[in-house]
Amino acid sequence: MSDLMAGRPLLMVALTGALAIIFAGMAFRADTKREGIGLALIVGGAVGNIIDRLRQGAVTDFLDVYWRDWHWPTFNGADIAISLGALLVLTAMLRPSRSKELSFDRT
């Protein structure tokens, strides 16, 4: 996707902004706290990347992790927020909420 959007930071800002607005709306209507926090982290990471694109024309990745001969792709703080948020949303989807369990009628 980065090659497709290369040299078009405003298009990427518009697309990311639209998705951030959608996810923000979903966060306010989240069924669980975990889902709401996850969506908020995704929105925060997206906004961080938007700020980078508006100020610099691109997102700056600066965290470079090595362990022995292994190298993880370079990333930034916004990437961490988006990844953690996605993980929280995924776990919220896979694990039923407590309120839904309690409202189950066993008659």
Return the active site residues: 61, 79
pLDDT of residue 88: 96
Note the pLDDT tens digit of each residue in 19-35. Answer: 999 999 999 999 899 99
pLDDT at 102 over 70: no
Note the pLDDT tens digit of each residue in 40-74. Answer: 999 999 999 999 889 988 788 888 888 899 888 88
Backbone angles phi, psi at 82, to 5 degrees: -65, -45
Domain residue spans in the chain? Answer: 2-96
pLDDT of residue 66: 87
